Structure 1
Amino acid sequence: MKPLFAIPGDKALEQSVYLIKEITQPFFSTEFHFHHECQLVYVEESAGRRIIGDNISYFESGELIFVGSGTPHVWHNEQKYFEGKDQLQARSLALYISPDLLLEHLAPFVNTAAVKTWLKKAQRGIQFHGKAKAEILALMREMLQQQDLTQTISFITLLQKMMTAKEYKLLAGTNYVNLYNDKDQSRMDDIFKYIFRHFKRDIPLSEIAAIAGINVHSFCRFFKSRTQQSFTHFVNELRIGYACRLLQEKEMSMVALSNKCGYRNTTHFNRFFKKIKGKTPREYKREVSSLD
């Protein structure tokens, strides 16, 4: 799935520093895309897989993430959302910020060096939690009910809260750089969607290379140059993320868990889980259980 260069669909943002709105859809967009505007997203209601830069994780209702300028991203819903079952909806609260206009309007009043540094850091994607998340979300909700100067004051306060927050996690890798180009569009779109549908079973390199329309050697080089990780590592991260979600939701044996996540034996499953999460599945399960 090559990230499309996208423009948020609202003309008001072309002349405004920021724009906040509520979004309700049957499912989130499935296109891996990027745009010049920064984006703060709170997921009101939804679940699925999320990619930000080179980070791939499961998401659910209640997450708050800031995506910096030019960073490829997608929130891809679970299959049941596309089937129209159970009256599911994808609801979010989104704040778009023009980084250029923000710096231009702040420059007469403050030294913008710190803002520029923070915007650069935000290109890795920032996930807020704890008290910081609660305070930022409260300001987003207030902005929805406000106008003009009152709303702008809340926006500046929100910006300051994000910049000074201590409770956050950076998502993409330290050296992540967006290396996608327009010629990759349909090929990466096909690759990612195929992986999302079939990651619970073995996907031979010859099979995924055929989806991309190139030979195995070319595919390995192409995939790593665009995602900055190997195909095998990408699939393992997706599987382990799925395993973490199952460990949070269900009681099952390690054998059943590893099989459900696409591993033929528990030895491989345990090794990859510890490599990616820094702990064994049982240790992860104990930590999750202790939070209940």
Structure 2
Amino acid sequence: MRLTYKEIELKPEKSFLVRRDTVPCIEQDWHFHKELELIYFLKSTGTRYVGNSIDRFQPGELYLIGSDLPHLFRNDKEYYEHNIDNQVADVIVVKFVSDFLGSDFISLTESQNLKLLFEKANRGLKFSSYVSRLVHDVMIELVESTGMLSVIGILGILDVLSSDKNCISLCPEINNTFFRKDEKERMAKIISYLTQNFDKKIELEKMASIAHMTPNSFCRYFKKQTQKSFSQYLNEIRIRNACKLLIEGKLQITTICYQSGFNTITNFNRQFRTFMNVTPSEYMKKFQV
């Protein structure tokens, strides 16, 4: 997997793109594109990587990804193995450029909230559950809407999103060099390797070789790009995976520890408590029926 730049998907006769994907799994590379992307998960679970942010995503969550912001939404392993009955990813995707209704429109006084929304999206936005529910029906209707009704629909959605006081920025701290085009390919190779191999032993020397650096140079580079140390970033990926397995409640904590890439249960417990402020057993109990 490598970083890819996706060309604009808009058709000449459309000012924005809307589609609903109902598929066994989300097939994505770490990628970026000129358009802003509104993503609404009706059914799907997995891990999201947006800029330097890592976390889980769940059904009912709504995101707005800014122009040229690298991102990847990766389903959990079982989606790709197709071993769960009726397990599908059901996602609504809306893509548009910031001036999709013309540069004059986005410059209007009445459009300033939208302009601010698009600027905030450069860090990636996750909207509150209340607002996600508020636009749920309109998002579904937008898939089938045509003509002026589709324009009215998307403007209504964006207006509601722009008023969400509880939305969160996914990348509260960004080093702008991370998003320079000449750095994206290098970071893509690093992050792609981590997302595919986090459950195995990962040597610092291996990561440095992928980046064509010495280990010391790699550590400095990684911290500069992500605002996190390499070990912190890797542990965060592993802890997010462990959270998913703990919520499912099908495996023993010791098994989850090793399946998430930790070598000892002591280290796993320590790292889990550092990230989640509770022990793995306490976290699991919160989701037991």
Task: Give the TM-score, by structure 1 length.
Answer: 0.83
Q: Provide the C-alpha distance between the structure 2 equivalents of 1:32 and 1:75, rounded to a whole number of angstroms.
A: 8
In structure 2, relative to structure 1, the CA distance for the partners of 1:109 and 1:279 (3 Å cut) is same
Structure 1 residue 213, shift from structure 2 partner: 3.7
Q: Provide the C-alpha distance between the structure 1 equivalents of 2:172 and 2:140, rounded to a whole number of angstroms.
A: 31
Aligned pair 1:150/2:157, yes or no? Answer: no
User: What one-letter code is carried by the residue in structure 1 that aligns with 2:240?
Assistant: G
- Answer whether contact 1:2 1:184 (CA < 8 A) is retained: no
Give the equivalent residue in structure 2 for 1:274: 273
Identity across matched positions, percent: 28
In structure 2, relative to structure 1, the CA distance for the partners of 1:178 and 1:66 (3 Å cut) is farther
User: Root-mean-square deviation (CA), in Å?
Assistant: 2.9
Give the equivalent residue in structure 2 for 1:265: 264
Give the equivalent residue in structure 2 for 1:75: 73
| C-alpha distance after superposition, 1:4-33 (max 9, x if no partner) | 3333423348x62x3211234554343212
SS in 2 for 1:279: coil
In structure 2, relative to structure 1, the CA distance for the partners of 1:179 and 1:104 (3 Å cut) is same
SS in 1 for 2:46: strand
Q: Provide the C-alpha distance between the structure 2 equivalents of 1:82 and 1:246, rounded to a whole number of angstroms.
A: 16
User: What one-letter code is carried by the residue in structure 1 that aligns with 2:109?
Assistant: V
Q: Which of 109-118 and 140-149 deviates more?
A: 109-118
How many residue pairs match? The answer is 288
Structure 1 residue 71, shift from structure 2 partner: 1.6
In structure 2, relative to structure 1, the CA distance for the partners of 1:107 and 1:119 (3 Å cut) is closer
| C-alpha distance after superposition, 1:199-252 (max 9, x if no partner) | 123311012223334321232233333333222111111011011111210155
Task: Give the TM-score, by structure 2 length.
Answer: 0.84
Q: Unpaired segments of 5 or more residues in structure 1?
A: none
Structure 1 residue 183, shift from structure 2 partner: 4.2
Structure 1 residue 109, shift from structure 2 partner: 5.2
Q: Provide the C-alpha distance between the structure 1 equivalents of 2:106 and 2:254, rounded to a whole number of angstroms.
A: 59
Structure 1 residue 67, shift from structure 2 partner: 1.1
Relative contact order (C-alpha < 8 Å, sep 6+): which is higher? Answer: 1
SS in 1 for 2:92: strand
User: What one-letter code is carried by the residue in structure 2 that aligns with 1:4?
Assistant: T
- Answer whether contact 1:45 1:92 (CA < 8 A) is retained: yes
- Answer whether contact 1:103 1:112 (CA < 8 A) is retained: no
- Answer whether contact 1:4 1:182 (CA < 8 A) is retained: no
Matches within 5 A, 1:50-61: 50-61=48-59
Q: Provide the C-alpha distance between the structure 2 equivalents of 1:284 and 1:102, rounded to a whole number of angstroms.
A: 47
Q: Provide the C-alpha distance between the structure 2 equivalents of 1:282 and 1:139, rounded to a whole number of angstroms.
A: 40
Give the equivalent residue in structure 1 for 2:18: 20
In structure 2, relative to structure 1, the CA distance for the partners of 1:152 and 1:10 (3 Å cut) is closer
Structure 1 residue 135, shift from structure 2 partner: 1.7
SS in 1 for 2:126: strand
Give the equivalent residue in structure 1 for 2:225: 226
| Corresponding residue to 2:37 among 36, 39, 43 | 39
Q: Provide the C-alpha distance between the structure 2 equivalents of 1:176 and 1:103, rounded to a whole number of angstroms.
A: 31
User: What one-letter code is carried by the residue in structure 2 that aligns with 1:7?
Assistant: E
